[in-house]
């Protein structure tokens, strides 16, 4: 898990980049001259050498400097625990708890404006595959009510509503008001009816037995302690109807090769996530028929369970 203690930002980042730019130009010039002299190349050949060297050095610079930039964005997206007051009244026939302060020990993402872009840059097309796979695994039917807890910018909840149709009711909650605001904007743009509201996974603002499905994606690893994970699972269990289904989809770090090296550079200790600890936690929380397996995405694993009917 990531700590909320962010490393100090380097105030001389501009001079750092400038120094490396001059070094880059110097390296290209020196290498090009040495190679051209030893090979007696023509002007065209010398130009080709310069082009190749420029590409090679650019890749090195991106891998080195780009890593710190992306890593900095990732860390800054992990904000401090948020405190805000909210008061939910009766909505769509659901009974809500009284107003609470959203104070959590979990990691809260607050950079809603950058989140979607960041995940696309880091994970590429795998995010879309993961969301589609999550909706398929959730299998929300017409007439069912589902909750996306830790919904972020609402991508999963919106896709679930679009897939399940008008007779399914979808809710989304997140600890960050910025995420909720962005999710509401996306729902309006997509012209779908999804109810987004601020709320904590360890204190879900709905009555017992409200939902047929509770799901989440890329959320569970943001709960840093076993105690917080257990509290969250207890709440998910509570708000599910008897026979209700829980689906957790979370980041599955690559085990080898370039993808592992790339994500380790950017995400650091997040690549040490071990999803095998989750199924026993579901069983301890009371879920039955607990299963774990791959999704259609290369970067995610699912864990599922059912709340007993008796």
Q: Is the pLDDT of residue 3 over 50?
A: no
Please write the tens of the pLDDT for every residue from 30-42. 665 555 555 665 6
Q: Is the pLDDT of residue 287 over 50?
A: yes
What is the CA angle 112-121-263, rounded to 5? 105
Read off the CATH number of the domain in which 230 is found. 3.40.50.150
Please write the tens of the pLDDT for every residue from 164-185. 999 999 999 998 898 899 999 9
Max mean pLDDT range (68-77, 85-94, 245-254, 297-306)? 297-306
Q: Of 40, 63, 79, which residue sits at a domain end?
A: 79
Q: Kindly state the average pLDDT of the residues 102-110.
A: 54
Report residue 154: phi and psi, to 5°.
85, 10
Domain assignment present for 1:
no
Residues 152 and 25 in one domain: no
Q: What is the pLDDT of residue 291?
A: 98
Residues 269 and 130 in one domain: yes
Which run of H or of E encompasses 149? strand 145-149
The number of helix segments (H) and strand segments (E) in the chain equals 10, 11
pLDDT category at 155 given cuts 50, 70, 90 is very high
pLDDT category at 212 given cuts 50, 70, 90 is very high
Domain assignment present for 227:
yes
Q: What is the pLDDT of residue 12?
A: 52
Domain assignment present for 275:
yes
In contact, 225 and 191? CB cutoff 8 Å: no
Q: Kindly state the average pLDDT of the residues 91-107.
A: 44
Residues 256 and 281 in one domain: yes
Q: Kindly state the average pLDDT of the residues 186-199.
A: 96
Residues 176 and 56 in one domain: no
* Residue-range definition of the domain harbouring residue 274: 85-306
Q: Is the pLDDT of residue 1 over 60?
A: no
What is the CA angle 228-230-231, rounded to 5? 65
Residues 175 and 294 in one domain: yes
Domain assignment present for 96:
yes
Taking CA atoms, 220 is separated from 58, 94, 156, 213, in Å, by: 37, 25, 15, 16
Q: Is the pLDDT of residue 84 over 90?
A: no
Q: Of 21, 50, 79, which residue sits at a domain end?
A: 79
Residues 271 and 188 in one domain: yes
Residues 20 and 119 in one domain: no
Tokens of 293: 């397996």
Please write the tens of the pLDDT for every residue from 220-232. 988 888 999 999 9
Max mean pLDDT range (41-50, 118-127, 209-218)? 209-218
Domain assignment present for 8:
no
Residues 192 and 259 in one domain: yes
Q: Kindly state the average pLDDT of the residues 287-309.
A: 93
Q: What is the pLDDT of residue 34?
A: 59
Q: Kindly state the average pLDDT of the residues 247-262.
A: 65
Taking CA atoms, 179 is separated from 103, 154, 185, 279, in Å, by: 16, 8, 10, 28
| 142 or 63, higher pLDDT | 142
pLDDT category at 99 given cuts 50, 70, 90 is very low
Domain assignment present for 68:
yes
Report residue 125: phi and psi, to 5°.
-70, -5
Q: What is the pLDDT of residue 168?
A: 98
Q: What average pLDDT does the structure give for the chain? A: 74
Residues 262 and 211 in one domain: yes
Q: Of 79, 102, 126, which residue sits at a domain end?
A: 79
Q: Kindly state the average pLDDT of the residues 281-297.
A: 95
Half-sphere exposure of 48 (CA within 13 A, CB side): 6
CA distance 194 to 207: 18
Domain count, the chain: 2
Q: Kindly state the average pLDDT of the residues 130-157.
A: 95
Domain assignment present for 181:
yes
């Amino acid at each position: 898990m990531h700590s909320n203690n962010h490393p100090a930002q380097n105030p001389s980042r501009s001079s750092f980049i400038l120094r490396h730019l001059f070094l880059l130009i110097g390296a290209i010039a020196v290498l090009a001259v040495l190679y051209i002299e030893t090979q007696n190349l023509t002007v065209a050949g010398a130009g080709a050498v310069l082009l190749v060297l420029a590409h090679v050095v650019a890749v090195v610079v991106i891998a080195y400097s780009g890593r710190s930039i992306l890593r900095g964005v990732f860390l800054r997206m992990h904000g401090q625990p948020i405190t805000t007051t909210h008061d939910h009244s009766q909505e769509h026939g659901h009974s809500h708890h009284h107003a609470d302060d959203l104070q959590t020990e979990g990691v809260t993402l607050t950079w809603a404006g950058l989140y979607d872009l960041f995940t696309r840059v880091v994970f590429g097309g795998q995010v879309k595959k993961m969301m589609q796979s999550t909706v398929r695994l959730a299998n929300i039917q017409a007439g069912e009510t589902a909750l996306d807890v830790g919904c972020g910018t609402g991508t999963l909840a919106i896709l679930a509503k679009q897939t399940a149709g008008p007779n399914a009711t979808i809710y989304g909650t997140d600890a960050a008001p910025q995420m909720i605001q962005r999710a509401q904007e996306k729902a309006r743009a997509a012209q779908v009816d999804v109810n987004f509201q601020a709320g904590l996974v360890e204190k879900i603002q709905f009555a017992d037995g409200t939902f047929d499905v509770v799901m989440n994606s890329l959320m569970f690893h943001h709960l840093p302690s076993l105690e917080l994970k257990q509290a969250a699972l207890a709440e998910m269990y509570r708000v599910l109807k008897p026979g209700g289904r829980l689906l957790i989809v979370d980041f599955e770090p690559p085990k080898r090769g370039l993808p592992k090296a790339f994500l380790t550079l950017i995400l650091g200790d997040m690549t040490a996530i071990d999803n095998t600890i989750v199924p026993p936690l579901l069983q301890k929380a009371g879920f039955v028929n607990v299963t774990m397996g791959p999704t259609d995405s290369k970067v995610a694993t699912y864990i599922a369970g059912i709340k007993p009917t008796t």
